[in-house]
Amino acid sequence: MLSILVVQGCAGTRTFHDVARAGDTVAVAAGWKQTFLRNNITVTITPSTGIPIVYPPNNPAIRAVANLYPDPVSSIIVSMETGQDLTTSAQVYGSYVMSNITGGDKEWWQTAVFIDLPSTLPVGTASINISNPYGESVNSTLQIVDGAGKPNTFKTTAGPLGINDLASLERVSHFTIDFAGGVIPYAIQIDLSHNPDVDHGGTGRTYVINPRGDIKNVTWSDNGSSLRVVITPAKTQALSSMLDYKFYVAGGIANLNVLSIKAVDSNGNSVSGVTASVD
């Protein structure tokens, strides 16, 4: 039985909690978490009676930490981008996400943590706290009822998902490139350097990810130690925020650093003051 304890969603509101048996697999919707990973979260389960049970990072009972994204054709996305309510109050919901959860970032997701409950939990209310060293945390409660539960197999048409299958759905190590500036440009070209990749005597292989392909185009090339990324809007008008230019670099390369930035307006004139950070 897979029980959803909390659905915070992008809006960060608790819509319902559920019940489970001791030993069941449960899912905690943790909200818009930036640094939740199986190798850094600690899960503390406090039963109604008795001592808390602590799962340290990478405990097998922490089955997966995966980010769930809204459908790009969902009403909340399309309504926000077209300025119309295609379903009732869709723009209200989207505006709440932007202003109260993501601070204007248009990349929305829900971090879900899948946990096997201890088989020794007594009947009654239990609380779950999940936290990591980076200051992110989430708390939830559920009702433990009679019966012997069992871990979920995550059954698919190809069979159950094993530990490696679930791990393949999780985020890998990556760099986040954010931009800042007083004037929003039309296009940005950024050149970066990194240690040689696996094809040139080093490790990793560059892979650039555009988190919102519906609002911007990201074109890139890499020669094994130098990366060039060109960002242009999907529509023939400047993006609405510097946050929209964000992209990721993954693939296991090391020591990524900014070399230069060129930003221009829609007429090709240089836009000064644009900077980038690599995190």
Same domain, 21 and 42: yes
Same domain, 229 and 133: no
> Does a structural domain hold residue 80?
no
Same domain, 125 and 242: no
Same domain, 157 and 125: yes
Range of the domain at 219: 174-278
Same domain, 161 and 188: no
pLDDT for residue 15: 24
> Does a structural domain hold residue 74?
no
Same domain, 207 and 262: yes
pLDDT for residue 17: 52
Pick from 44, 35, 107, 102: which is nearest to 65 by CA?
35
- What's the CATH number where 185 sits? 2.60.40.680
Same domain, 183 and 158: no
110-116/62-68 β-pairing: antiparallel
φ/ψ bin of 160: left (φ > 0), alpha (ψ from -120 to 50), beta (otherwise): beta
pLDDT for residue 220: 98
Rounded-to-integer distance, Cα 42 and Cα 130, Å: 6
Same domain, 137 and 191: no
Instruction: Please give the angle made by the CA atoms of 203, 255 and 212, to the nearest 5 degrees.
Output: 90
Per-residue pLDDT in tens (0 to 9) along the chain, 279 residues: 444 443 444 433 232 358 999 999 999 999 999 999 999 999 999 999 999 999 999 999 999 999 999 999 999 999 999 999 999 999 999 999 999 999 999 999 999 999 999 999 999 999 999 999 999 999 999 999 999 999 999 999 999 999 999 999 999 999 999 999 999 999 999 999 999 999 999 999 999 999 999 999 999 999 999 999 999 999 999 999 999 999 999 999 999 999 999 999 999 999 999 999 999
> E strands of the chain, at which residues?
2-6, 19-22, 25-31, 42-46, 53-55, 62-68, 110-116, 124-131, 137-148, 155-156, 159-160, 174-180, 187-193, 207-209, 216-222, 226-233, 247-250, 257-264, 275-278
* Domain count of the fold of the chain: 2
pLDDT for residue 18: 82
> Does a structural domain hold residue 99?
no
> Does a structural domain hold residue 185?
yes
What is this structure's pTM?
A: 0.90
Rounded-to-integer distance, Cα 61 and Cα 78, Å: 38
Same domain, 148 and 33: yes
